[in-house]
Amino acid sequence: MTTFLDRALPLLDRGFSLIPCEPRGKKPLLGVTHASTDPAIIEAWAKRWPEANVAIVADANFCILDIDDGNAFMWIATLPETFSVRSSEGKVHCYLRKNGFEVRNQNFHPVGSLRADNFYCIGPESVHPDGHLYKVIKDVPVAELSLGLYQQLKERADSIKRERENRFKNSPDDVIVRGGEGRHEFLTSRGAYLPNGKKDEEQLFAELWAINEKHCSPPVDEAWVRRFVNDFLLADDFEPMKETAIPVIGPRVMNEPLTGEPVKFDPWEYALGSLEGSESSGWFPRGRFALVGGASGGMKTTLLVQALVSARDGEAFLGHPPGRLAFIIFFADRGKWDVIETLRRMKMEGRVPHECINQLGMKEALAKITEAAKTQQYAVIVIDGADLLVEDNNSGLHVKQFATGLQKIAEHYGIAMVLTTGSGKYSTKAVKDGAERRSLVKGSEVWSRTGGSIFTLASKDDGTGDSRELVVQHRNAATERYILKLKAGRLERFVATDIPNEEDNLMRAIAWIGQREKFFAEEFKDDFPQLSGSVRKQILNTLTTLKMIRKVGTKPLRYATLVPSSNLGTVSAVSPKDVWGQNVPESCAT
């Protein structure tokens, strides 16, 4: 039988602070203020409570990412490999070492939390109340919590807090929330208004339980309500919600309502038509809006200017035939001289109709956009920096109202509406690590959920280089992916066969890998369709053996480059025999 001491000693070796909990339970036998790393104290507890469960306490050195719903945390692409424990199916405790900056408790209720201080999680080999064991699923060193990851977690917690505040704010007093409709979110929203600094645990529980029984069908179980009161409402850093008015930011803030009969237009007319053999893959259809996301400096404006000028002037762009639609760009994120500088760099000055609205309030800016749509002079309207026009970019309610207003303009006047929004600087790494691209748009996820096609631009390096990866996700067509390079002020498509002075596939493959910090095996396959599966596998396995690359993930399969790109990417310094020895496959060597 596993004892408290058996459970505790391996955790002490990692430097964790521990407390004992009741056998086959989560209730602490001693509070978190008694947490200790002293082997003598742990041994004393072991004699007193030999069958106790063990709990790890978040302290000055460690914090715990408590994930209650793994699917809800798919947006965390920068989570490092770290010591992790599965508490039950779909629930994981990820342990992280603090890194010198202040870390505070963050709540993602009901899907999880970041426990940074005065909280604990049950440790491995302890017995769950249901009878199963808490099990280590990643027996690796505890990784450091990076500032970038912490900022992601904090932004998400703040966003959830605002969403929680607003989602059920105006629901009627007799509302019934059924299973699958957000019962936990409803109780979280209503419960956030209950504390006043005077109510104790039992009073808060009684009030929230009454709300639960009245509005939830069926009611949420008692254990969840009790845990919510203790972990959330009674937390030291909890701030009760206050009743505040929610501003209406949709089309009603415009100077004039949408007037006249709706314009007749072809909803299948695109600024750039569909790719051959891929119906519905066109860019920027009339009557709808598309979203372009990327970090500041990610070349979103450059991409759109090139694409729309080409389309208007009768030139194809990345294989898409031109739709010859007139366009205008409204800049909400920069002033006159910054725009001119960008257009001069592209040698496009005088060719791009535009107007700067960065000094206007949201109401005046939307009025300008509506007026441009009414003139029917332009079929495509771009709002560059659209997220800056929203009062609270993290509020799903605010974003939805704003997006709905623009969608109404697009449908009423037959406009192809294109919005650009920012993303965190960490998005580059997130893309490389396989994040869902629609989640990379900064602010509320409603941005990416309300848009049609989603365009994301991310650096292929640390953000200072000239390479960009463009991914276009359509709702009803296959995803497009391109590698673009900045040349002479413009973005140009880069393909492996463009590498100069190289004739064989192996050399092109080495050069391709050398230009990437990380890459997916599927990317390698897409860019080298001329290679057979066995040859691609042999190239990757050989470079792995030579420690030029290493495998960093299996689902999906991905690799990291281990040598500087200047070495691996300089194909003239490598010959097939350097990699393959005497066994050079005929399909790889010329």
pLDDT tens readout for residues 439-456: 445 444 556 666 678 898
- Listed in sequence order, the residues at least 6 apart from 41 whose beta carbon sits closer than 8 Å to its beta carbon are none
Strand, helix or coil for residue 559: strand
What is the DSSP secondary structure assignment for residue 94, as one 8-state letter?
Answer: E
Interior angle at CA 131, CA 130 and CA 134, nearest 5: 95
CA 139 from centroid of its chain's CA atoms: 26
Residue given tokens 């490598």 in the structure block:
574
Whether residue 587 contacts residue 531, with contact meaning beta carbons closer than 8 Å, is answered with yes
Question: What CATH class has 500-580?
Answer: mainly alpha
CATH 3.30.2250 matches 4-155:
yes
- Confidence at residue 467, expressed as pLDDT on a 0 to 100 scale: 76
Tokens of 432: 């490389």
Sign of the Cα torsion 149, 152, 158, 163 reads: negative
State the SS3 of 335-383: CHHHHHHHHHHCCCCCCCCEEECCCCCHHHHHHHHHHHHHHCCCCEEEE
- Confidence at residue 559, expressed as pLDDT on a 0 to 100 scale: 84
Rg of the chain in Å (alpha carbons) = 28
- Confidence at residue 167, expressed as pLDDT on a 0 to 100 scale: 60
Q: Does this chain's domain 283-464+472-494 share its CATH topology with 500-580?
A: no
Low-confidence ranges of the chain (pLDDT < 50): 244-256, 424-440, 442-444, 462, 496-503, 564-590
CB half-sphere exposure, 294, CA atoms < 13 A: 25
- Confidence at residue 327, expressed as pLDDT on a 0 to 100 scale: 96
- Confidence at residue 421, expressed as pLDDT on a 0 to 100 scale: 86
Longest Cα–Cα distance in the chain? 83
Superfamily of chain region 283-464+472-494: P-loop containing nucleotide triphosphate hydrolases (3.40.50.300)
Tokens of 508: 């092109």
Domain ranges in the chain are 4-155, 168-233, 283-464+472-494, 500-580
Q: What percent of the chain has pLDDT over 70?
A: 77
- Confidence at residue 510, expressed as pLDDT on a 0 to 100 scale: 72
Which of 315, 352, 313, 321 shows the shortest CA–CA distance to 336?
Answer: 352
Interior angle at CA 302, CA 297 and CA 307, nearest 5: 145
- Confidence at residue 109, expressed as pLDDT on a 0 to 100 scale: 67
- Confidence at residue 525, expressed as pLDDT on a 0 to 100 scale: 81
Whether residue 317 contacts residue 311, with contact meaning beta carbons closer than 8 Å, is answered with yes
Which of 182, 192, 168, 184 shows the shortest CA–CA distance to 220?
Answer: 184
Residue given tokens 């900064």 in the structure block:
442
